[in-house]
Amino acid sequence: MRILFYTPHADDAPAWIASLARALPFAEVRLWSPGDTASADYAIVWRPPAELFAPREGLRAVFVLGAGVDALLALERREPGTLPNVPLVRLEDTGMAEQMAEYAVHTALRYMRRFDEYELAQRESAGNAPWQALEPHRRESFHVGVLGLGALGTHVAKTLASLGLPVRSYSRSTKTIDGVTAFSGRAELPAFLDGLKLLVNLLPSTPDTEGILNRDTFSLLAHGAYLVNLARGAHLVEHDLIDALDEGRLAAATLDVFAHEPLPAEHPFWRMPRVTITPHISALTLREPAVEQITRKIEALARGERIGGIVDLLRGY
């Protein structure tokens, strides 16, 4: 068996290849480099260049080292026919859901208890801030909405609801979770957004969801609401967020993903005290669980069995 591996993070590649070699001792695992057009049975990749998919004999499936496949689908949209006609397989939860829930819970409680305002006062006061308590938002009226109900969004919604917060969910098709008020389909999106105090975005990145975090969306939230974007930078219309913060329509935002990563040094988000930035770390791919899952799926494919995580290219996830 021949396995082709690629990640743009060159320093990480040796550890990945070593883990794959241990898990699949009968396989030949090689790192792709420009000019490599040799045959391979499987490709395991993260944000590969189009050149990697040049006609390649024997390819049976492409595995992606993440839950999102938007980078590959963008290649296909720019150059139709770039992706080979084989299954494209994303990672299903390999510890990412728990990480995502931790991030969402931390952010929800930070805003509900107004810790962000204490932090801002400390930074801006130089020791002269008033020594006084701020009344926290009432839990029962701190309505949280989880936009996107895949494996990660489902776990986040369940975890937030377990804290006693009033939680709503929104998905393309109807899905139900105990303790969560469900909305689905474009017609129900305004009702889902109406009066939310905190909006957590976990949608897949598709042409239909691009720019969904915009002025119209913000106008339906509670005045002084909070935004958390954990999905993709393409979901957010950045200048609409800046305007909403300047106008007081939104109180603050926490962003883990951006249209351009790393976030350029000149970007205004760096200098906006009401914007909290993290470098795309809300749910990191854990190498050993990911390798274990990919190994199971390769073995299942070799036996002719069905596997989960195959991406519907039309839907984008």
Annotated catalytic residue 280: yes
Q: Which residues contact 141 (CB under 8 A, 6 or more apart)?
A: 166, 197
Task: Give the single-character DSSP code of 43.
Answer: E
d(CA 13, CA 147): 33
Q: Shortest CA distance to 199 belongs to which of 184, 220, 182?
A: 220
Q: Which residue among 110, 168, 232, 274 is the active-site one? A: 232
d(CA 276, CA 256): 8
Q: Which residues contact 139 (CB under 8 A, 6 or more apart)?
A: 112, 164, 165
Q: Residue holding tokens 């935004």?
A: 227
Calculated CA dihedral for residues 232, 251, 142, 179, nearest 10 degrees: -10
Q: Which residue among 56, 60, 267, 280 is the active-site one? A: 280
∠144-209-173 over CA atoms, to 5°? 70
d(CA 49, CA 59): 17
C-alpha separations of 163 from 149, 226, 234, 310, 314 in Å:
18, 18, 30, 33, 36
Q: Residue holding tokens 């932090």?
A: 119
d(CA 141, CA 164): 11
- What residues form DSSP beta bridges with 58? none
Contact 197, 222 (CB under 8 A): yes
Give the Cβ contact number of residue 190 at 10 Å.
12
d(CA 168, CA 95): 23
Annotated catalytic residue 232: yes
Catalytic residues: 232, 280
